[in-house]
Chains A and B, each alone.
Chain A
């Protein structure tokens, strides 16, 4: 059974940085395509970033240049490094597994971790 557990969410000041982690069991992050999806309070889902199984990375326009997705195969963990955080980045951040690199179907999700950007 696939299990994804996010951590690292916190209260951070505007302009600050944070690193989120998503520990995976039941799958290998090195051979899976994985994404981060966020949800601002009371709002809908927003795709943030994806790392393909082959290592290529993609970002939403809103975070390109400030967020970095990566993975540690030895720890079987996905990461999201966030810098220059803005109030608008306040959200619950979910990691999700894509069914395959050709089928971006998010079939497994973590429980989410809350990032609050506020002074």
Chain B
């Protein structure tokens, strides 16, 4: 099975900061990588699919990049509503469709 890791596990940032979260797969998954945002007590929301495609309606300050085994989610000009936990998820070939352990972005 493909394992996913994320770093850091948490970070503190201020409004207006640029934040970078990395996700690494245990084997080549091409660009089959999605990013989700989850706020406490709420369901996850899709932000980016296929590594770099922004879901319609998601602000352009969110950017995804990478392919193969290494991926990055960048949030530019961090806004108050961006404080949340972010998960990557791979879907290369057959199940299981593993999620990363998550990265929590909180207010410094």
Contacts and interface: CB of A to CB of B under 8 A. Distances in A.
Q: Which of A46, A47, A104, A105 has the most CB of B within 10 A?
A: A105
Interface stretch (B20-28, B38-46, B76-84): B38-46
B97 A47 contact: yes
Given A109-B43, A111-B43, A104 B50 contact: no
Contact of A110 (B1, B43, B46, B87): B43
Q: Which of A94, A104, A109 has the largest count of B CB atoms less than 10 A from its CB?
A: A104
Given A44-B87, A45-B102, A94-B43, A105 B95 contact: no
A45 B49 contact: no
Interface residues of B, number: 24
B99 interface: yes
Contacts of A106: 34, 36, 44, 46, 89
Contacts of B100: 44
Grouping DSSP codes into helix (H, G, I), strand (E, B) and loop, the B interface class, with mixed when no group exceeds half, is loop
Contact of A107 (B46, B87, B101): B46
Contacts of A109: 43-45
B58 to A, nearest CB: 11
Q: Is the contact region of chain A dominated by helix, strand, or loop, or is it mixed?
A: strand
A109 to B, nearest CB: 4
B16 interface: no
Interface string A76-98: 00000000000000000010000
Interface residues of A, number: 22
A35 interface: yes
Given A58-B95, A60-B95, 15 more contacts: A44-B87, A44-B102, A45-B36, A45-B87, A47-B95, A47-B97, A58-B96, A60-B96, A61-B1, A61-B96, A103-B49, A104-B91, A105-B34, A107-B49, A111-B43
Which 3 A/B pairs are nearest by Cβ-Cβ distance?
A: A104-B91, A58-B95, A109-B43
28 contacts: A44-B87, A44-B101, A45-B36, A45-B38, A45-B44, A45-B99, A45-B102, A46-B99, A47-B89, A47-B95, A47-B96, A47-B99, A50-B97, A58-B95, A58-B96, A61-B1, A61-B96, A103-B49, A103-B50, A103-B91, A104-B91, A105-B46, A105-B91, A106-B34, A106-B44, A106-B89, A107-B46, A110-B43
